[in-house]
Each structure stands twice: as structure tokens, then as C-alpha cells.
Amino acid sequence: MENDAEKHSQNQRRRRKKNMEKWSTRISFSASLPEDVTGDLADSICVVKYSDDPFWDIRESILEMIQSAGVRDWKEMEELVYCYIVLNSPEVHQFIEDAFLSLCSSVEQIE
């Protein structure tokens, strides 16, 4: 019998696969930070990227941004989430959410 974590993981993989099918036909070329972004993130450069695996590419990008911009607290993390949401189309928002939750879960397991 599968435990809840395994079921959740399988559901996430199914949802990602379904979303990837939609994602594969869309490309975004917008790459300007919102004007209301402040602090270290305001100096960041946006990069447009086509992806065959948006979940992992977004997760990797978020991790790089946390490290390079020196995100140190939840307020800065919230602003980073805001940037990803504003810069990407609604079809990508679930990948962004899953990537952030995956990183938060990884941090909690380490602590």
C-alpha cells in the first residue's frame, strides 16, 4: 500500500506531465522585471528560455536566483515568487508553484 507522500508525488508527476503537454506549444518572449521590484532582485536580469521540462528548469532558476541575489528571508522569497508569476503566463504558474514548494520542502528536510 502506498503512503501519502508517494501518492502525492505520483499526482504531481501526472499533473506536470499534463501541463507539459500544454506548455510545449507556448513560448514567452517577455522579460522585463516589474517596476515595483526592490532590493537585490531589482538588479536581476531576466532571461527568456524555452524548456522541455519547465518544472526542473524553473526550480533550477529559482535556486540560482536565491543564491545569486542573496535571498535571505520570506519577504524576499515572496518577492521572488511574485517576479516569476508576473514574468510568466498563467499556464506556467503551476510549474512555478510546484518548484517553489519543492525547494521549500527540500529545505525543511535538511533542517
So what's the pLDDT on residue 32?
65
Place of cell 524576499: 76
User: Would you write out the chain's pLDDT as a tens digit for each of its 111 residues?
Assistant: 556 767 767 777 777 666 655 555 555 555 666 677 767 676 776 777 888 999 999 999 999 988 888 888 888 888 888 888 988 889 999 999 999 999 988 765 544
The reply to whether the predicted model has a pTM over 0.85 is no
So what's the pLDDT on residue 35?
73
User: What range does the domain containing 88 cover?
Assistant: 4-110
Number of structural domains the chain divides into: 1
So what's the pLDDT on residue 110?
44
So what's the pLDDT on residue 9?
72
So what's the pLDDT on residue 62?
92
Q: Are 32 and 46 in contact (CB under 8 A)?
A: yes
So what's the pLDDT on residue 2?
56
Place of cell 510568466: 88
Distances (CA, A) of 8 to 26, 62, 98: 27, 22, 12
